[in-house]
Amino acid sequence: MSFFTELAQQYIDGEWRPGSGSWDIIDFNPYDGEKLASIPVATAAEVDQAYRAAERAQEAWAATNPYARRLVFERALRIIEDREQEITESIIAELGGTHLKAAFELHLAKEFLREAVQLSLRPEGRILPSPVDGKENRVYRLPVGVVGVISPFNFPFLLSIKSVAPALALGNAVVLKPHQNTPICGGSLVAKVFEDAGLPAGLLNVVITDIAEIGDALLEHPVPKAISFTGSDKVGRHVATVCAANFKRAILELGGNSALIVLEDADIDYAVDAAVFSRYVHQGQVCMAANRVLVDRKVEKEFTEKFVAKVKSLKVGDPRDPGTHIGPLINSTQADAVTALVDQTVEAGATALLHGSSEGNLVRPSVLTGLEADSPVLQQEIFGPVALIVPFDGEDEAVRIANDTPYGLSGAVHTADIEHGVRIAQRINTGMIHINDSTVHDEPIVPFGGEKHSGSGRLNGESMIEAFTTQKWISVQHGRSQFPF
């Protein structure tokens, strides 16, 4: 893979260079263990250099005509389209994504770039009335300045671009730290696309590093005014705490424990298809995945039989094979954790309709049922190919079970009565929920985000303007004010 030899470096102030840390981040293929790249880590000094470069470049970029700014995103879109095969191969190699998953990620990345083109022109100022005669109140919409972006390993190319492109389109500069398991797809590849698209030096910087090396330097640095973080709720809580202590805006897209609800009048075959996709896409390593499949007891037997049969038909193996549905988990730690969780849950009394074995980072699908209401597994996010089938009696119980989790990201309701489904959806405490569809969705202009431990703030569309700009009030007094003394 040429990307893994050419791009195994830091990208700071328009220059490709090695990090100066004393150890390397090793990038492995999670399927076969092949070493893809070895990257000397960036130190806290290089984080400072990246932020200072961004600070220097941002003012001129903000003053650039937005019609000129948007040309960068048009060119970036064409570059991705031209290199789609190479990027697909890199996603498959670096994170074990299947062909289906890579296509899904690239499709959305292109959609978000198309939205960034439009976003460049969208911020609007306002003139507001005043109770003071002769006073004009102008409210300007301005970039926040420099944005720090921390992206995850599961959709690294997409979720880096999802914050980076809008922040840049709105006149900001960015420092991006990709996850250490996906430094190329989530970091330097994004930088290369924008460099080749003509983005001026310093506006996008990529630091490939780890908290073991830099601590909280990325969060505490005085330059960035906003941090966009996508990852676990545990780390998100820490990010929020540090940002609050340093008076920074935090946009947090965190984990989920989504419920897909199947009512008795649902199209069972269709609901099965939606549930299998919602749970097992990208090996279940999706924040919106349907951890819990809630099924009306009147159709539980039919649904469960068809669900298990469909899951059994999924092909597990080499993600390079276009026929593969389920590839490897991202690393051995994750694979071991998921395997142990299934074993512990079965030992505690759950019934395994499928008890998936593991081989290396490949973990075969499991389907568990017969769970006690207080089972710990019902409360947590499972980042792996494990479905929990939970029967219910009536919609009130379905709503209660769906809400009985610290998370509130996504969900779905399947029913023949759409408006009934909407009424149920309104009672479920999530940021997003879908009627007669999967739990896994993202669209460029629709607010994306969660409630409770699933995060704070929203991304996409107008929400990007709220996330990456600020408002400034300038008043103009025409004539003379009267002062009391």
| Active-site residue identified among 55, 213, 287, 395 | 287
191 within 8 A of 157, measured Cβ to Cβ: no
DSSP conformation class of 2? H
| DSSP character string of 431-466 | S--EESS-S----TTS-B--EETTEES-BSTHHHHH
Nearest Cα neighbor of 383 from 336, 423, 420 is 336
Q: How far is CA 366 from CA 55, 281, 338, 363, in A?
A: 49, 14, 10, 9
Residue type, 432: M
347 is catalytic: no
Cα dihedral 345→349→353→355 (10° resolution): 40
CA 168/CA 147 separation, integer angstroms: 9
For 175, phi and psi rounded to 5 degrees? Answer: -115, 120
Which structure tokens are listed for 141? 């919409």
Alpha helices in 142-210 (DSSP H): 156-169, 189-196
Which structure tokens are listed for 265? 């009048």
Which structure tokens are listed for 221? 């640095």
For 60, phi and psi rounded to 5 degrees? Answer: -65, -35
| DSSP character string of 172-193 | -EEEEE--TT-TIIIIIHHHHH
287 is catalytic: yes
202 within 8 A of 13, measured Cβ to Cβ: yes
For 423, phi and psi rounded to 5 degrees? Answer: -60, -40
Which structure tokens are listed for 202? 């310093």
CA 66/CA 160 separation, integer angstroms: 22
In this structure, is the dihedral angle defined by the CA atoms of residues 149, 150, 152 and 156, taken in order, positive or negative? Answer: positive
Radius of gyration over every alpha carbon of the chain, rounded to an integer in angstroms: 24
| Active-site residue identified among 253, 300, 381, 395 | 253
Q: Give catalytic residue positions.
A: 253, 287
